[in-house]
C-alpha cells in the first residue's frame, strides 16, 4: 500500500470524530479531497475501512486494524521528530528502557547518575512496566532494552544475565516471625502485610501467587517504594515481601529482621533483554556494560 502521513492523520481523525466532514476540517482539506483520499486507501486495501452512514462514519472491521497501525506509525513519527529536535540541541543519544519495579526504585537510581555524568549528551527514558510487558515493548521497538526478573517469556530476544536477587520476608525485629530462619509465603498470609502500590510488578506477581493459593493477602497499606515499605515494616505495621538487596540496605535504619522464603519463585534471576546487542548504539551498549559491572563489583 502507498499512502502518506496526511492519509493516516485523516483516517485517525475520521475514526475519532465519527465524521469525515470534521476530519477534513481538522486536516485542512475539502470534503471532496478527504473523501477521495479515504476511497484511495480502501481501493489499495481492497476492503472497506469505513461504513458511511447518515450521521457520519464508523469503522469497519478492517478499519479497526488499519486504525491500530496508523496510530502506531504516527506515534513513531512523533518520536522521531522529538529525537531529531534533541539531536539538534546537542544531544547525541537517547535510550528508552522498560524495567520492572525493583529496577526502577531500587538499583537504577544508584547506577544512572554516574552513567549520565559520564555520558552528558545521552538521555535515558526510564519507564516502569510489568515484567510480562517488557519483552513485548522491546520486540515492537517502543524500548531499546528491558530489565526483567524471574521467569519471563523473552519472546526470542537476547537475554543478558547480570545478577541474582532473592525475595525475602521482612518483619519488625520484635515480630513473632522474626526468629524463624525460613518460612513459606503461604504461612505469612494470616499476618497483616505492607505492600507496593497496585500495578507495580512485585505486587501484581504476589497477587497472582495468592490467587493460586486461594487465600487473600491482607494488605494493611500500599506504598510507592521499598524504602517506605521497610520503614512501615520496621514500625510494626505489618510484614512484607521485598528484594533482599533493598531489605539489607534499610535493615539497620528500620530495625528489620529478614526471613528466608522457601518458595522456589523467591530466587529471581535478572536479565537485560534486547533485540540485538551488536546493533545497539555504543551509548546503549555502554549502559548495559555499566549495569553488569555494577552488580559484579557490588
CATH number (domain holding residue 237) = 3.40.190.290
Q: What is the pLDDT, as a whole number, of residue 87?
A: 61
Inter-CA distances, 289 with 253, 263, 274, Å: 32, 31, 13
Q: 38 and 172, same structural domain?
A: no
CA distance 275 to 96: 13
Cα-to-chain-centroid distance, residue 47: 35
Number of domains in the chain: 2
Residues 157 and 199 occupy one common structural domain? yes
Last residue of a domain, one of 57, 87, 117: 87
Domain check: are 284 and 192 in the same one?
A: yes
- Reduced DSSP (H G I as helix, E B as strand, rest coil) percent helix, strand, coil of the chain, to 5: 50, 25, 25
Q: Is 251 exposed, middle or buried (0-12, 13-18, 19+ CB in 10 A)?
A: middle
Report the C-alpha gap between 40 and 35 in whole angstroms: 9
Distances from the Cα of 126 to the Cαs of 41, 82, 97, in angstroms?
37, 16, 5
- Measured CA to CA, the distance from residue 107 to residue 165 in angstroms comes to 11
Residues 247, 281, single domain; the answer is yes
Residues of the domain holding 71: 5-87
**Count of Cβ atoms closer than 10 Å to residue 178 Cβ:** 16
Q: Does 120 share its domain with 63? A: no
Reduce the DSSP state of residue 56 to 3 states and report it. strand
Q: How many Cβ atoms are within 10 Å of 16's Cβ, its own excluded?
A: 12
Claim to verify: residue 151 and residue 270 sit in the same structural domain = yes
The predicted pLDDT at position 298 comes to 56
Are 74 and 139 in a shared domain?
Answer: no
> Average pLDDT for consecutive 10-residue bins of the chain (298 residues)?
87 94 94 94 92 93 92 85 65 86 89 93 91 91 92 92 93 96 97 92 90 94 94 97 92 95 94 94 92 81
State the CB neighbour count (10 A cutoff) for residue 29: 18
CATH number, residue 39:
1.10.10.10
Asked if residue 120 and residue 83 are part of one domain, the reply reads: no
Residues 217, 239, single domain; the answer is yes
Pair 268, 178 in one domain: yes
- Residue 90 pLDDT: 54
Domain boundary among 44, 64, 87: 87
Would you state the pLDDT for residue 140? 87
In this structure, the answer to whether residues 165 and 78 fall within a common structural domain is no
**What pLDDT, on the 0 to 100 scale, is given for residue 247?**
93
Could you list the beta-strand ranges (E) of the chain. 50-53, 56-59, 93-99, 122-128, 145-149, 158-172, 182-183, 193-196, 219-223, 240-243, 256-261, 267-274
Count H helices, E strands: the chain? 11, 12
Is 14:57 a contact under the CB 8 Å cutoff? yes
Whether 249 and 116 map to the same domain: the answer is: yes
CA distance 129 to 146: 9
End position of a domain, from candidates 87, 110, 143: 87
Sign of CA dihedral 110, 166, 202, 185: negative
Amino acid at each position: 500500500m502507498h499512502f502518506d502521513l496526511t492519509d493516516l492523520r485523516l483516517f485517525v481523525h475520521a475514526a475519532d470524530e465519527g465524521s469525515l466532514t470534521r476530519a477534513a476540517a481538522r486536516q485542512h482539506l475539502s470534503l471532496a479531497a478527504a473523501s477521495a483520499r479515504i476511497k484511495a486507501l480502501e481501493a489499495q486495501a481492497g476492503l472497506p475501512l469505513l461504513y458511511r452512514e447518515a450521521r457520519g462514519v464508523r469503522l469497519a472491521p478492517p478499519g479497526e486494524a488499519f486504525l491500530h497501525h496508523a496510530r502506531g506509525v504516527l506515534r513513531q513519527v512523533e518520536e522521531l521528530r522529538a529525537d531529531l529536535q534533541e539531536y539538534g540541541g546537542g544531544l547525541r543519544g537517547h535510550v528508552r528502557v522498560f524495567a520492572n519495579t525493583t529496577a526502577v526504585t531500587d538499583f537504577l537510581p544508584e547506577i544512572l547518575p554516574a552513567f549520565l555524568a559520564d555520558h552528558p549528551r545521552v538521555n535515558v527514558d526510564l519507564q516502569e512496566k510489568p515484567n510480562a510487558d517488557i519483552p513485548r515493548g522491546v520486540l515492537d521497538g517502543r524500548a531499546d532494552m528491558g530489565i526483567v526478573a524471574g521467569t519471563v517469556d523473552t519472546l526470542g530476544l537476547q537475554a543478558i544475565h547480570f545478577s541474582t536477587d532473592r525475595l525475602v520476608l521482612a518483619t519488625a525485629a520484635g515480630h513473632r516471625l522474626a526468629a524463624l530462619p525460613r518460612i513459606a509465603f503461604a504461612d505469612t498470609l494470616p499476618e497483616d502485610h505492607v505492600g507496593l502500590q497496585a500495578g507495580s510488578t512485585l505486587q501484581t506477581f504476589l497477587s497472582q501467587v495468592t490467587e493460586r493459593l486461594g487465600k487473600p493477602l491482607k494488605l494493611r497499606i500500599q506504598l510507592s517504594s521499598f524504602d517506605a515499605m521497610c520503614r512501615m515494616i520496621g514500625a510494626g505495621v505489618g510484614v512484607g515481601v521485598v528484594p533482599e538487596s533493598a531489605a539489607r540496605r534499610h535493615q539497620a535504619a528500620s530495625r528489620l529482621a529478614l526471613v528466608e522464603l522457601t518458595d522456589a519463585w523467591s530466587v529471581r534471576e535478572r536479565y537485560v533483554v534486547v533485540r540485538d546487542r551488536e546493533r545497539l548504539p555504543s551509548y546503549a551498549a555502554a549502559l548495559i556494560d555499566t549495569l553488569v559491572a555494577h552488580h559484579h563489583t557490588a
